[in-house]
Amino acid sequence: MAASDVTEETFEREVVERSREVPVIVDFWAAWCGPCRALGPVLEREVESRAGAVELAKIDVDANPALSAEHGIQGIPAVKGFRDGRIVSGFVGVRSPVGVATFVDELLAPPRLEGALDELRESGELPDVLSALEAGDEDNALRLILEAIRDATPADRERHRDLAVAIFDHLGQDDPVTVAYRRQVAAALY
């Protein structure tokens, strides 16, 4: 599938909504940008090689300044990976073909929280946290993790930290729950 040219008018549908079905890579670029012209074909080849598992959207920053501002684009090429309606990864500048492949692999990998939930189910550890997460109550899960950190061994503290980070990744770095708990988790750990 070829890359689609996305505009301010089509962004919500072609990127945000579409990313709820399949990950979407957004390439912020400009025709006058040499590095953009070098990166574009690498992104296109990598996406094409994934046979529909991921899509590529291209946004001309000159023609879509509001989108560029909204996403904090200060340098190009800038690449953002969208999944489930939000940005989950990104980079600025040119990357090698191997670097682009790694970026796409990471975007297509199952979310960290899924793996963490599987580990909790297998180990039987932190059943209250597991219940809260399965109910979609990340706030309560993080509160329970904070309580568990206080009395944990160093190895357990590290696992609890990893679980909290997986929840933060799931929610997004700007989510109010993430913002509220990130400092508390750091303070409890250090």
**Residues 153, 157, 160, 166: is their CA dihedral positive or negative?**
negative
Question: Rounded CA gap, 43 and 3, in Å?
Answer: 9
Q: What is the pLDDT of residue 102?
A: 93
Is 33 considered catalytic here?
A: yes
pLDDT score recorded for residue 41: 95
User: Strand locations in 61-115, DSSP E?
Assistant: 78-83, 86-92
Low-confidence ranges of the chain (pLDDT < 70): 1-2
And the tokens for 150? Answer: 């206080």
Which among 30, 33, 92, 146 is annotated as catalytic?
Answer: 33
At residue 112, the pLDDT reads: 82
Q: Could you tell me the CA-to-CA distances from 179 to 14, 43, 66, 117, 185 in Å, in that order?
A: 29, 32, 26, 22, 11
Q: 6, 25, 26, 36: which one is catalytic? A: 36
Nearest-angstrom CA–CA distance, 32 and 30? 6
Structure-block tokens of residue 49: 């090689």
* Active site annotation includes 88: no
pLDDT of residue 171: 84
Going along the chain from its start, the domains and CATH numbers come out as 4-108 (3.40.30.10), 112-189 (no CATH)
Residue 100: its pLDDT value, please?
95
Q: What is the pTM of this model?
A: 0.71
